[in-house]
Chains A and B, each alone.
Chain A
C-alpha cells in the first residue's frame, strides 16, 4: 500500500461560463519518502489536484468522484474534524507565494506555533521552542530573535523558508509543495530545493512537488507525472521521462527548453494553447497541438497504458512507464517521429531513437 493513492479523481468547477473539468479520472500513487513531481503548463489542473488532497477546494469547485486514500483511508469520507486533524499535521502544504501565504498581521513565529499548539497540544512555551527549532532547521539565522518578526521583515527567500518551517512543524508524512520556488530567483531556488531534498531524506517525508519547470523536476524528483488539460498524459521515473519521453506533449515540453550552445535558429514551442477545460477537444485533448496527430486522434480518447505492453494497468508499479497516446495502443499509423539525442562533452551525436550514455 502506497502512502497516497489517488484514484479516478474528478474535480469540477461550476462557473457561469460552463463546467470546468479541472481533473479527469486522475490516478496516481506516492510512496512513503518519495519525491514525486507533477508537471504541466499553467491551467493543467496541478494546483487543483493538490488542493483536492487537502480538501481545500472552494466554491464553485467540487470533488465529483474518485478516492484519495492516505495511509489506506479515503480522505473524502472523513468528517470535517477528522480532516482538520490531518491538515498541517500529517499532510502539509507549501504554497507558491510565501509573501501572500503569510498573514501580515501576525509574527512569523506565532503563525508556526499556532499549528503546533493545535495539533500537538503543546503549551505556548513548548510550542515556541519547537517553532524556533524548526526555523533553525530550515536555515534561518538567529531564529529566536526572528521568531517575533513580522513577515514583511523577512526577505523573499527567508519567507519561503519560514513557510517550509511551518509545513514541517508537526513532522508530516507528506508535503505538497505547490511551485515553491517559482517566485524566487535562481540561486535561492537552488538553496530551497536542496533544503527540501535534505528534509525528505532525513525524515523520510514524501513530497509532491508541483511545477511547470522541467529543470526543477530533473534536479529534485524521482518520479514524475505530466498533466495536460486535467489528464495525466505520462507517468514515469525521471530517467525514463527524460531519456525516453513517450507522449508527444512531454516531447514538446522538453524541446521547448532553451539551452546554451543550441544551434537552432529559433526556439521551439508547442503551438497553440491549452483548452480552457470547459469544452475540451474531442478524442485526445492534445490533438490540436500535436504534430503527430492523425484522424484517429480526434475520435479515440487514449487510455493511460504501459508503453511497452500497451495494456492499461490496475496498479502501476513505481518503475513502470505509462503514457496516454494512441501510439502505444497501436492505433497510430505513422507513429511518433522524433529522436532524443544525448550529447557527450565532445558533442558526439547518436541517432536512431533513444540513446543512453
Chain B
C-alpha cells in the first residue's frame, strides 16, 4: 500500500480531466424551480435585515410604543402656539388639544365637595379630581408631569441630534485623514473624556449660566465625544477594506469616498450609541434640574419637580416625587429598549449565532 501510494504520488500532478463543461450549466435553463438562497439574500441591504430583525424584537417594539405615547402626550398636553417673534403667524395656535385639564402653573384648582382651605389645596394625594395629586403649591401633578415631558424630551432629542452633527464629521475627518488632524481632534476628545459626564456638564453650566439652551449646549459639549470616537474607530477599520482602496485608486474624491463608501458601513454603531444617548442625556438634564443647575424652580421639568418636592417626599408625600420620577424612568427605559433592539438588529453576532459552528 505504501509503496503504491509513493509511486502514484509522483504522477498525480499530471492527471487532467476534460469534459466537465461548466459553461453548459450557466447557459441551460434551470432544471428545477430551486434558487440559490444565498445570492438573493446578499442582494438586500443590511438596513433591510436590521429592520426585519428590529420588527421581530418585542421588547424593542414595546419601547418604541412607550416613547411614541410619551411624545404624543407631551405634544397634546397643552395647546401649542408659535413663538411671538415670528411675523404674522406669531402666537397662532398650531396644536389646539389639551389633555391636561389644568394649566401646569395654575394653583387654585380645588372645586367641589370640600371647602377650599390651604390645607386641602396643597399636597393632595391622588384623587379623582387630580389623578396624580397636587404639589406643595396646589398645582395639578398630572398636568405638570405630562407637560414636563416637553423639556426633557426636547432636550434629549435636540442635544443628541446636534451632538451627532458635531461628532460624526469631526470623527470622520480624524479617522479618514489621520496625522495631525487626527491627533488634534482626538487629544481634545481624550481631555474632555477625563471629566465624568455630569462634572463636565456642570463645568459648562458654570461658564454659560442656567437656562434651556444653556443645558442643551452643555449636553452637546459632553455628547459629541462618543460619536467622534466611535466613528473614527469604525472608519479606521473600514478604511482598510479593499473597496475603499479600490475607490481611491479609481480617483474618487475624499469627500465622496467618506460619504458613499465609508459612512454607510460605519454608521451602525453610531446609531446604536445615539439611541442609547437620548436616555443618558435626558437623565443628565433631569439631574442638572434636580441639582438646581437647570431650569428655574417654577418650571414643570421632571428633575426640577423632584428637587422641589424632595423634602415633601421625605415627609411621606410619596406622590409628589413618584410620578415625575416614573415618567423619567419609563422614558429612559423605553429608549434603552429601543437602543438594545437597534444594536441587536445591526449586530453581526445575530448572524454568527445563525451560521456559526459549522464551516
Contact = CB atoms under 8 A, between A and B. Distances in A.
Nearest to A43: B359
B84 interface: no
A291 B22 contact: yes
Interface in B186-233: none
A252 B16 CA distance: 11
A9 interface: no
A232 interface: no
B250 interface: no
Contacts of B13: 259
Interface in B9-54: 9, 11-26, 30-32, 34, 36-39
Interface string A92-133: 000000000000000000000000000000000000000000
Interface in A131-182: none
Contact of A288 (B9, B11, B17, B36): B36
Contacts of A281: 32, 34
Given A239-B8, A268-B22, A222 B1 contact: yes
A293 interface: yes
A47 B17 CA distance: 28
B25 A291 contact: yes
B358 interface: yes
B358 A219 contact: no
A280 to B, nearest CB: 8
Contacts of B34: 275, 279, 281-282, 288
B179 interface: no
Given A13-B357, A239-B4, A239-B5, A337 B11 contact: no
A276 B31 contact: no
B8 A343 contact: no
A291 B21 contact: yes
A96 B275 CA distance: 39
B21 to A, nearest CB: 5
Interface stretch (A57-65, A309-317, A325-333): A57-65
Contacts, number: 131
B22 A259 contact: no
Contacts of A288: 25, 30-32, 34, 36
Interface in B329-359: 350, 353-355, 357-359
A105 to B, nearest CB: 23
B31 A298 contact: yes
A69 to B, nearest CB: 22
B104 to A, nearest CB: 47
Contact of B16 (A16, A272, A275, A340): A340
B9 A218 contact: yes
B105 to A, nearest CB: 52
B358 A48 contact: yes
Interface residues of A, number: 63
B357 A58 contact: yes
B23 to A, nearest CB: 8
Contact of A15 (B8, B24, B353): B353
A73 interface: no
A51 B359 CA distance: 11
A199 interface: no
B17 to A, nearest CB: 4
B17 A254 contact: yes
A51 B357 contact: yes
A245 B350 CA distance: 40
A60 B357 CA distance: 9
Interface in A238-290: 238-239, 242-243, 245, 248, 251-252, 254-255, 259, 268-273, 275-276, 278-279, 281-283, 287-290
Interface string A291-333: 1011101100000000000000000000000000000000000
B31 A340 contact: no
B15 A45 contact: no
Contacts of A11: 358
Q: Which 10 A-B pairs have the closest CB atoms?
A: A338-B19, A15-B354, A48-B358, A298-B32, A281-B34, A255-B17, A343-B14, A271-B25, A255-B20, A291-B21
15 contacts: A11-B358, A20-B358, A42-B359, A45-B358, A242-B12, A254-B15, A255-B20, A259-B16, A269-B22, A273-B38, A275-B36, A282-B32, A291-B20, A291-B24, A339-B17
